[in-house]
Structure 1
Amino acid sequence: MTRSYPTAHTTQIQNSRLRVLNKIKAGEFPLMTFMALPSVRMAQIVALTGVDGIIIDCEHGHIGDEAMHNSVAAISSLGVSPVIRIRGPAHDILKRALDTGAHGIMVPQINNAEEARQVVASSKFPPQGVRGQGSAFPAIGHALTTPEYMKSANETIVTMIQIETRAGVENVEEIAAVDGVDLIFIGPNDLAQSLLGYVPARGDEPEFVKAVDKIINAARKHGKWAGRMVNNGTAAKEARERYDTVAITGDTKAIQNWYMAEFDIARS
């Protein structure tokens, strides 16, 4: 498959700050997690756990523009890769997220190749895309000057596309073929709801298994990385055989799980 431009897969640019990109290119299975709470302190606490990337959840999380900017700054300053899951594929939302200095973006519920192409166009500076430049902030998250950032961003920011709808599964071959899409990420809960009508999936439903296989195969066929969300470390370890990265649940679930387990012990 020929490419007109370098991408995160083919870039020769070296930047030690880009932890997720560097680990995934080296086949080291970077671990990520979601963050839904709008707190610099939460960002710092999670960043110091040994995680490689933190997905700042601006789709389902309680995170607005100010918290998004503050979280990216806190996470990147501690040597961890901030990734922003935006609330939709609109150009202005993508531009705003990237201007924080995020090392990657995750775009939910992509249904077809045209939507994927629009995401790529909005996330790349010309001539590859239509992203505008006007902020001093994005370079800071990459520890670069603005001119250095402008030269490197198109091929070092990891563009992640989520497949989590029936239409996305049906069109995943065409989506994965889009130049500039770097990683196909499975959202298992929305995918289960779309295909099965309930959440969570048991994981052995034939339609669900077939859809997951189709997504992974499409990613591999077109030279893209594959990832998904998992609920715990055991599931993450098992996923190493099929995926290049995973996100292990998130801050709100981690807090609830710890408290519930400890309260159960205390009351037993």
Structure 2
Amino acid sequence: MGSESEYPTALTTKVQNPRLRLLNKLRSGDYPLMTFVAIPSVRQAQIVALTGLDGIIMDCEHGHIGDDAMHNSVSAIAALGVSPIIRIRGPAHDIIKRALDTGAHGIMVPQINNAKEAQQIVDSSKFPPQGVRGQGSAFPAIGHGLTTPEYMKTANQTIITMIQIETKAGVENVEAIAAVPGVDCLFIGPNDLAQSLLGYTPARGDEPEFVAALDKIVKAGRKYGKWVARMVNNGMVAKEVRSTFDTVAITGDTKAIQNWYMAEFDIARS
């Protein structure tokens, strides 16, 4: 086990809040399931939230989601007892602040390459004295089912900070990234990781360099007591990797819609 923060984090918190479904399932080892949502619609968010999953990652990096849809979807998801996570488009302080002020239960930050970048994310996502996040909105407490004073006391140790490891530099520096107090989860982006390491995507899955990178990320997470997660394409793969990962995101809304229709049309034309 690596060095511990003087502050409690999502990994060590004693706070009990039944609204925080993803956090509670991670802490109890229940292998929560997530998915990505890229389409900017409150109704889409509600439909996905009612499928029985535990967390929805609003994809503000690659999805068609702006500020308005981000706020509305987070509110709708949280109201249905599911944890909204926002994948932000980059690690800038104002972007992190804006995402957390929706009431999201966590953030996912893409393409982190070193410990300095990871530390900046932690600083921006925590209120003082632990970080430099500012307070001025009534909205974030709503997503946690709390008053604003209650939220201010608990947010630093209940919001999940997910760091995406999906570049060659990120893999090389993954131990230092995992050692940063306040980084709660290492999330593997397999497609970008394959592109960075192999020059193509998707990976077949048996390339030695790719397999070694996955192993290195998982070992770093375990060494420093962090959760490890990844994206998978379907439920079968999610089942196969259950012994390795703490949680997975099973594809996303755009793929799910296309896959269902294509399969049904293939049957209809057969």
Which TM-score tier does this pair reach, normalised by the shorter chain? over 0.9
Match of 2:233 in 1: 231
Which residue, 54, 63, 75 being the options, matches 1:61? 63
Aligned-pair Cα RMSD in Å:
0.4
Indicate conservation of the 8 Å contact 2:4/2:181, yes or no: no
After superposition, give the CA deviation of every residue in 1:2-53 in whole Å (9 maximum; x if it has no partner): 3210000110000000000000000000000000000000000000000100
Among 218, 221, 236, the alignment partner of 2:220 is 218
Instruction: Report 1:1-268 matches (<5 A).
Output: 1-268=3-270
Q: For residue 264 of structure 1, what is the amino acid of its counterpart?
A: D
TM-score, normalized by length of structure 1? 1.00
Q: Percent identity?
A: 80
| Cα distance in structure 1, aligned partners of 2:194 and 2:229 | 16
- Cα displacement (A) at 1:215: 0.3
Distance 2:58 2:106 in 1: 10
SS of 1:210's partner is: helix
Q: Report SS of the residue matched to 2:201.
A: coil
When the two structures are superposed, what TM-score results if normalisation uses the length of structure 2?
0.99
Shift of 1:55: 0.1
Amino acid in the other structure paired with 1:25:
R
How far, CA to CA, are the matches of 1:267 and 1:2 in structure 2? 59
Question: What runs of 5+ residues in structure 1 fail to find an aligned partner?
Answer: none
Gaps of 5+ in 2: none
Query: What is the DSSP-based 3-state SS (H/G/I as helix, E as strand, rest coil) of the residue aligned with 1:32?
Result: strand
Structure 2 distance, partners of 1:151, 1:204, is 46
**Quick one: which amino acid aligns to residue 175 of structure 2?**
E
- Which secondary structure state, in structure 2, belongs to the residue aligned with residue 181 of structure 1? coil
Offset of residue 106 of structure 1: 0.1
Deviations 1:242-263 (A, max 9, x none): 0000000000000000000011
The 3-state SS of whatever aligns with 2:128 is coil
Other structure's SS at 2:228 match? strand
SS of the residue 2:5 aligns to:
coil
Distance 1:58 1:266 in 2: 35
Over residues 46-66 of structure 1, what are the superposed CA-to-partner deviations in whole Å (9 max), with x where a residue is unaligned?
A: 000001000000000000000
In the alignment of these two chains, the number of paired residues is 268
Deviation at 1:239, TM superposition (A): 1.2
